[in-house]
Every structure is written in C-alpha cells, then in structure tokens.
Amino acid sequence: MLHFSKIKIFTIYLIIIFLSFFTFTNFFNDEDNFFLSKNINLGLDLQGGSYLLLEVDTKPLINQRLQEKVIKLRDYFKYNKIKYKKLSHEGNSIILNTSDIEKFEEYFLNKDNDVNYYFERYRSFEMEYAIDNNNIFITYSKFGLIEINNSAIDQSLEIVRRRIDEVGTKEPSIVRRGNDRILIELPGLDDPARIKKLLGKTAKLTFRLVSDGDSEFTSELLSFENSDNKINVNKRIIVSGDNLINATPKLDNQTNQAVVSFTFDRVGAKKFARATTDNVGKKLAIILDGNIVSAPQIREPILGGNGQITGDFTFQSATDLALLLRSGALPAPLSIIEERTVGPDLGEDSIKAGALSLLIGFLLVIFYMIYKYRFLGIIADLALIINLILLLGILSVLEATLTLPGIAGIILTVGMAVDANVLIFERIKEEKKNENSNIYAFDMGYKKAQSAVLDANITTLISAIILFFLGSGPVKGFAVTIGIGIITTLFSAYFFARHLTSFYVLKNKDKEISI
Amino acid sequence: MILNIPKDIKFSNYYKRLNLLSLSLIILSILILFFKGLNLGVDFKGGTLIEIRTENSNVNIGEIRQSFMKMNLGDVNVKKFGKENDYLVKIEIKKSNDDNFIQSINNSLSSDLGSEVNFRRVENVGPKVSNELLKSGLLAISLSLAAMLLYIWIRFEWQFSVGAIAAILHDVIITVGIFSFLSYEINLSIVAAILTIVGYSMNDTVVIFDRIRENLKKYSKISISDISNQSTNETLSRTLITSVTTLLALFSIYFFGGAILKGFSFAMIIGVIVGTYSSIFVAAPVLKYTKVTQKTVLKEEN
C-alpha cells in the first residue's frame, strides 16, 4: 500500500491542482470565461430572495371546458334533430338523457368530431362516458385530464414568465415542478408582495354591456371591484383580453386620473367598433376576473381599436393592470402554496456565522489532530485542507448551490473526515506493536483499515443520497456537501495522505516513528 | 479523552445495567412522545413563520404579543431568537391566500410598536405542502433505516443487522424524545440531522462489528463477550477521537453558526453522543443475546 507508481502520483496531484483551480476561481467572477465562470452559487437563504411554489387549479378550467362542450353538443343535437330530455353540466361530468344512444355514439366516437378530441399519441379520446339506462355520463378520460393539465401548466408557465420578466428582477428561475406546480426563485428580492399580487390574478378581461333587468338567462349580477355595488351585466362577451395587443398606464389629460390605455388587434377592433356603434348611450362594463372595474357610458362609436380603461386607479395599480393585460390571462387560477423569503441582511449574517463556525471548527480539529498524532496529525491536517479545497472545487465545477445547511455539511465533513485517517493511524499503531518494520506496519495498517473506512463512509453516503432525493430546498444543499465530502474524504485519505505517509515512512524506515 | 485510554475495560460487565438504562430511556421517550407530542414547525404543520428585527431596542416581547393578539390571527407564538432585537413569530393560520397578509402584519406591528419592523425571513407553508413534506420526511427516515438494514445484512450476518438497527432506533428515539421533552421545534433541518445521525450511528457500529468479526475468525476459543470486549477496546480510541472531532465541529456550529442552525446542531450533538454510547453498549450486546459464535461468521464465509 505504500508503493505509488509515477503515473499514479502524477494523476493524484493533477486532480488536486485541477480542482483547486476551480476553488480559487470563486474569487474571480468572469461570466464570459468558461473556466472562471464556474462558481459556487449561493442559495436563496444565503444571498436573500424569494422562493414561491404555485399550484395551478384546473377545476375552473375543466368546468369552463365542460360548459363549452355542452353548448356544442346542444347545437349538434338541434341541427341534426336528435331528441334529448336533458343535457347539462353537473360537477365534473356532463349528463345527457336521450333515447338515441346510437346516434350519440356515432357522433361522439367519430375521430373528427369537435367535442371529443382523439389523441393519436395516446390512442385515446379526450372524454369517456358511461351509460345507465338512457342517461349518459360524460367525463374527462385519464389522458384528457393529462392534456388539459399539461396545456394549462405550460401556458401558465409562459405567462408567469412574462409577468415576472416585466417586473424586471435579476436572474429569476421559473420551472415546472411535477404535474401542476410552478417553482419560482427570485434571488435578491426581499419583498415579493408585488409579484405575489401579480401572480394571484388570472387577469381575464372582458367587455360586456350593462343590461337593464333582462332575464337571468342572458345576464348576471356582478359587483364592482372596490365597492359592494352590484349591477346586471349581459353574459355575452363583446370582446375579451385575448384580443389586446398592447396596454400602457397613462395619466388622463383632463381629469389627471391614472388610466390604462389599450389597443386591440384587428379582430378585436372590428368587434369593438360594431358593438360601440350599435349601443351608443348604453353602459359598457369592463370586467376583470369576475369583478367590474368600471362601467362607463358609450358616448360615441370607438372605431380605431384604441380605448382606455378608467377606474379607481393609482398610477401603480394602473401600471400593474397594464402589465397583466400585456402578458395575457392565465388559463387557470394559481395559488401560492409555499413561500420562503429571506432578507439580504439575514443572508449576509448567515454567511458570516457559517464562515466563522467553519473556521473555528476547522482550527479545533486541526489542533486536536496534531495533539493526538504529532507528525502524522500534520499529515491528516494537510489531507483535511486538501479535502476542503477539493470539496469546494467539485461544488464549483458542478456549479452547485451552497445553502446554510450546506455550510453545516461542510463543517460536519471537517469533523468526520479525519475519521478515515484516525482509523488508519490507530490500525498502524496496533500493527506496530507486533511488528518491527515500519514499512510493514504502515502497509498492513492501510490494508486492514480499508474495509472499516469504506463501511463507515458508505453508510453516511447512503443517508446523504436518500436526503438528496427526498429532501427539499436548503436541506438538499446539506446532502450535496456531505455526499461530495465523503468522496473527497476517501480521496484525500487514501491517495493524498497515504502518499505523504509513504514518503515519510520510506525516508525514516529505520528510525523509531512515534505515533 | 485527552488522557490515555485504558485498554482493558470489561464492557460486558456493564451490559445488563446499561441496557436497562437504555430501555427505560426509550420507554420514557416514547411515553413523552405519546403524551406531549412533537412541536412541529411550519414545514410540517403549515402556517406562517416570521423572523422579526425591531429597529427600536425598547420594544419588549409582551408588546409584540399584544400587537398580534389585536390582529386576531388565532394561535400566535412569539419568542426571542438569536440577537437582542430579534424575534421569531409562528402563526398557525390554516388559510392565507390574501396577497397582502404579510404586508398587513408588518403595518399593524410597526404602528403598534412605534418602530420600524424588519421582516428578515418569512416562511409560509400551505397545508398541502406541509403534509407532503411530513410524508417525505418520514419516508426518508424509514428508507434510510431500510437501506442500512440491507447494507449491513449484505456485509454481515443477520445478528449484526439486528444489533445495528437496535442501536439506530435507540439513537433516533432518544433524540426525538429529548426534542419532545424540551419542546424544541422539528423542522426540515431536524430531519436532515436525524438522517445524518442514522448514518453516523451506523458508521460507529460498523467499525466495531468489523473488528468483532475479524477477531471471531482469529480466535476460535474465546466467548463472544470477551471478543466484544477486546474488539471494543481495540477500536475505542478511534471511536472516541472521531466523536471528539465531530463534536468539536458541531459545537462550533452550535455556538457560532447562528440561530437557524441551533436546532440542527443540537440534534446532531445529542445523536453523536448517544450514537457513540449505543455502538458500544447496545449494538455489541445484541450479538451476545443473539448467540453469535465463531460458527456464525465462518458459515458466512462459505
């Protein structure tokens, strides 16, 4: 175990130099240079920032889709003169009562029908149905739900990204998490209130006419955003936010009130022009997420496709509304199910405390080892220093994220890493009792300690791996540093320290080595 | 530990008494857990946690509590945290979909205390997420136990597995019991600590087992008690030195690593101390109780 071939020595030190290089590049930050840009990232708990986990609620979307399908089915039945007793949307299914089940199936199972989409990819329809007497219960199939979920989450992701980009925070990370979640990390942001407000709105904008006492089939009672007043509004949508191409906040010249001015696309402009021409004198309700923002009177036809939304705005809220309208409506509402925010000063305190405790822990261990093992202690300490440098180097190459628990993991690695050398040295001590030859005792010491060293480290590694896969957030950082720490520990004990020891023993093979 | 360690301690003479002590500690821990329960943090219970720093040092904790009482947020727990003007507030609300929730708390607090209040950290965990975190935490601990069992079963005979798992359970139950007794909070980092304790306890045990197996092969006539004694003595200085260096690192985190890492390092300190004890006085005796002999390890060889 004490013999090292030249090529082995060369490789060991090459690896050490290679990784040390990346450790020290952390002191330089050059984004453009491939090597210098490889740095350890600081987690949100160390640099400050916000972590938000959003969940998409697809229920309203499913309801809306089912409602649309009911209308399409009704139209088809009417057109083809198929008789039915009942056709309505209840809960998460459509209930249809007809004696003409064959005709329904003929339509519904045709791969080109426009109610029940056929997915080539899954070889499955979007919907499935069950028949009980003359009642047909239509629900989403497994794949239909997957599709609706996927499209909702993909669209939401895109819109969330646009909204956050518009706010302009630095290096936001927005990723999909699982089936129905979006994870947002916003470094450096210590007050996520505005972003939370922006993400909490679906921002579905519709323009509808205010109706005066029509039947409840064509109109509904909606309340104003900032008061409890309610008015009847026609259910028919003249034009929606989907047709907007731009929206900007403005101060109205005459009233000095903040307003949002908007521009429609061609289709929207045409629809808007026709509606405002036909309904001069009536009131037009501007509805955002089911609440009336304002309901001004149409004084004259608006033909150019431009208009403005007045309301009880401050300039800030007008700016936010314009931003929401520009970035588009979310397909389904999002709710924040987890939020973790750390202020930058706490992050800084954590880094300082982490660094201080690392330094103190490191020094205590270093001195204890020298006290215990004298010269071999110094070798163990050198191995410990190399171990730390390698650990940081690997973290840099991987561009891993260092969190506060991650720092704790490094400190703990310092405490546990010497174990490998302790196991070996203790074994050498025992071997020396029965053996006169230094070389033989050291060689046997390394050999016999090997299985214990491996066993001891593998068990900790198993814990770290499990924690890495099942842990969340900052705790994952702990698993990363502990796990990598074990690998660097084995390397520094079995290659680096062993080489130093062999060098030392071969030099002093005939002298008395105290250990 | 700094003095030289005697080399011929008859550990097996203490097995009975110390096993009784361990057993009663475990039963006590389970009883405390059963009657007192765990103080689960927002990670596992849901709710809101806010770390506050007041600009004005004349504020006292009573005023903060009173201010929260006025806000009518249900069960609110306020305690000092770290430095002079730092407080940790835990709010057990089930629902906080209001986007202005945090802002409104800050406003009422600032006006009630007549001082700027800095929210250094806000954690808001919904019931669904906290449930998932709890499940994955328990899963992680069970998985690690299973993995250890499997690992040692592959490496050794089943008697050794039983001993190692007994030692790990002993360490985990007592650590959790102490947390329950002291009403210390259980959060994500405590789960990380427990997993590390599992790994550490195992590590300590395996080193002794390794030596016991080696000695069983070496000496054909000696009883398992004497083999255990000899093996424990031979590995004792390693066991203690490693525990000391690990504890040095942990105490350094505990005293200098800031308030956030206190719970984690405390759990680890307990775990390392109990784990070191258990590898000597729980894991090794199990080999005696399960009647491990030279045959056991020789059979394994074939």
Q: Judge: B210–A408 Cβ closer than 8 Å, yes or no.
A: no
- State how far Cα A301 lies from the chain centre: 46
Chain A residue numbers with beta carbons less than 8 Å from the beta carbon of B140 are 466-467, 470-471
Q: Do A365 and B99 touch (CB under 8 A)?
A: no
- Non-local CB neighbours of A421 within 8 Å, separated by 6+ positions: A369, A376, A379, A380, A383, A493, A497
Predicted local confidence at residue B19, as pLDDT:
92
pLDDT band at B99 (very low <50, low <70, confident <90, very high): low
What's the rounded Cα separation, in Å, for the pair B206 and B228?
13
Tell me: pLDDT of A29 over 90: no
Give the per-residue pLDDT at A363. 96
Report the pLDDT value the prediction gives residue B302, as an integer from 0 to 100. Answer: 46
Q: Specify the residue for token string 């808001």.
A: B124
CA distance B232 to chain A (A): 13
Please report, as a single letter, which amino acid is at residue A412.
L
Amino acid at A61: L
B238 and A426: CB-CB below 8 Å?
A: yes
Q: For residue B38, what pLDDT is reported?
A: 93
Task: Name the residue in chain A with its Cα closest to that of B249.
Answer: A361
pLDDT-based confidence at B96, cuts 50/70/90? low
Question: B114 vs B190, which has greater pLDDT?
Answer: B190
Q: What domains are there in chain B, each with its CATH number?
A: 11-41+129-301 (1.20.1640.10), 47-125 (3.30.70.100)
pLDDT of residue B97: 56
Q: What mean pLDDT is reported for chain B?
A: 88
pLDDT tier for residue B3 given thresholds of 50, 70 and 90:
very low
Q: Where residue A30 falls among pLDDT bands split at 50, 70, 90?
A: low
Q: Which amino acid is at A392?
A: L
CA pair distance A50, A102, nearest whole angstrom:
57
What per-residue confidence (pLDDT) applies to B281?
94
Whether residue A462 and residue B203 make contact (CB cut-off 8 A), yes or no, is no
Which residue has better confidence, A393 or A303? A393
pLDDT at B300: 55
From first CA to last CA, the distance across chain A in angstroms is 18
d(CA A217, CA A102): 31
Chosen for mutation from B96, B231, B253, B276 (greatest number of chain A CBs closer than 10 Å) is B253
- Beta bridge mates, A186: A50
How far apart, in whole angstroms, are the C-alpha atoms of residue B3 and residue B74? 56
Q: What is the 3-state secondary structure (H, E, C) of A157-195?
A: HHHHHHHHHHHCCCCCEEEEECCCEEEEEEECCCCCHHH
Q: What is the pLDDT of residue A77?
A: 85
Distance CA B167, CA A367 (A): 31
Determine the pLDDT at residue B20. Answer: 93
Q: Which residues touch A220 (CB under 8 Å, ≥6 apart)?
A: A232, A233, A235
Task: Quickly list DSSP for A355-398.
Answer: HHHHHHHHHHHHHHHHHHHHHHHHHHHHHHHHHHHHHHHHHHHT
CB contact under 8 A, A423 and B199: no
Q: What is the pLDDT of residue A135?
A: 86
CB contact under 8 Å between A357 and B200, yes or no, is no
- Give the percent of chain A with pLDDT over 90: 28
The 10s digit of each residue's pLDDT in A244-257 is: 889 999 888 888 88
> Which of A343, A357, A471 is nearest residue B257 as measured by Cβ atoms?
A357
Name the residue among A38, A103, A7, A2 with its Cα closest to residue A393: A38
Contacts of B249 in chain A (CB under 8 A): 361, 364-365, 411-412, 414-416
Q: What's the distance, CA A219 to chain centroid?
A: 41
Q: Which is higher by pLDDT, A511 or A485?
A: A485
Distance from CA of B82 to the nearest CA of A (A): 11
Give the pLDDT band (50/70/90) at residue B271.
Answer: very high
Confidence of residue A92 (pLDDT cuts 50, 70, 90): confident
Q: What is the dihedral of CA B51, B56, B59, B65, to 10 degrees?
A: -30
Contact A239, A271 (CB under 8 A): yes
> Taking residues A140-145, what's their average pLDDT?
89
Nearest to B274 by CA among B21, B48, B39: B21
| Among candidate residues A115, A80, A116, A86, the one with its CA nearest the CA of residue A99 | A86
How far is the alpha carbon of A470 from chain B, nearest alpha carbon, in Å? Answer: 6
CATH of domain A6-45+344-507: 1.20.1640.10
> Count of A–B CB contacts within 8 Å?
217
| Angstroms from A404 CA to nearest CA on chain B | 8
A233 neighbors A208 (Cβ within 8 angstroms) = yes
Residues of A within 8 A of B246 (CB-CB) are 412, 415-416, 419
The amino acid that residue A342 corresponds to is V
**pLDDT higher than threshold 80 for residue A218:** no
- Please give the pLDDT value at position B253: 95
Q: Are the C-beta atoms of residues A95 and A86 closer than 8 Å to each other? A: yes
Q: Contact, A135 vs A95, CB < 8 A?
A: yes
Is residue A331 within a helix (H) or strand (E), and if so which, with residue range? none
Q: What is the domain partition of chain A in residue ranges?
A: 6-45+344-507, 59-145, 205-336
- State whether A470 and B124 contact (CB < 8 Å): no
* 3-state secondary structure string across chain B: CCCCCCCCCCHHHCHHHHHHHHHHHHHHHHHHHHHHCCEECHHHHCEEEEEEEECCCCCCHHHHHHHHHHHCCCCEEEEECCCCCEEEEEECCCCCCCCCHHHHHHHHHHHHHCCCEEEEEEEEECHHHHHHHHHHHHHHHHHHHHHHHHHHHHHCCHHHHHHHHHHHHHHHHHHHHHHHHHCCEECHHHHHHHHHHHHHHHHHHHHHHHHHHHHHHHCCCCCHHHHHHHHHHHHHHHHHHHHHHHHHHHHHHHHHCCHHHHHHHHHHHHHHHHHHHHHHHHHHHHHHHCCCCHHHHHHHHC
d(CA B14, CA A58): 63
Strands A291-294 and A284-288: antiparallel
- CA pair distance B202, A500, nearest whole angstrom: 30
Mean confidence (pLDDT) of chain A: 87
Cβ-Cβ contacts under 8 Å, A474 against chain B:
188-189
Looking at residue A236, the DSSP 8-state letter turns out to be: S
pLDDT of A5 higher than 90: no
Residues of chain B with C-beta less than 8 angstroms from the C-beta of A341: 119, 121-123
Q: Kind and range of the H or E element at A51? A: strand A49-56
Task: Please provide the CATH number assigned to the domain covering A205-336.
Answer: 3.30.1360.200
pLDDT at A409 over 70: yes
CA–CA separation, B197 vs B192, rounded Å?
9
Q: What is the pTM of this model?
A: 0.87
pLDDT at A173 over 60: yes
User: For the segment A42-81, what is each residue's pLDDT rounded down to a tens digit?
Assistant: 899 999 999 999 999 888 889 888 888 888 888 888 888 8
Residue A29 near residue A40 (C-beta atoms within 8 A):
no
Beta bridge partners, A401, equal A41
Q: Which chain B residue is nearest to residue A350, measuring alpha carbons?
A: B258
Of the listed ranges A112-116, A455-459, A465-469, B77-81, the least confidently predicted one is A112-116
Rounded distance between C-alpha atoms, residue B158 and residue A54, angstroms? 47
- Residue B101 pLDDT more than 50? yes
pLDDT of A383 reads 94
Residue B1 clears pLDDT 50, i.e. is over it? no
Whole-number pLDDT of residue B6: 64
Contact assessment for residue B285 and residue B15, using Cβ atoms and an 8 Å cutoff:
yes
Percent of chain A with pLDDT over 70: 97
Q: Do B207 and A423 touch (CB under 8 A)?
A: yes
Mean pLDDT (whole number) for B65-70: 86
- Decide if pLDDT at B98 tops 70: no
With an 8 Å Cβ cutoff, are B124 and A336 in contact? yes
User: What pLDDT does residue B184 have?
Assistant: 93
8 Å CB contact of B253 and A416: no
> With bands split at pLDDT 50, 70 and 90, how would you rate the model's confidence at B262?
very high
Please give the pLDDT value at position A171: 84
pLDDT tens track for A176-200? 988 889 999 999 887 788 888 888 8
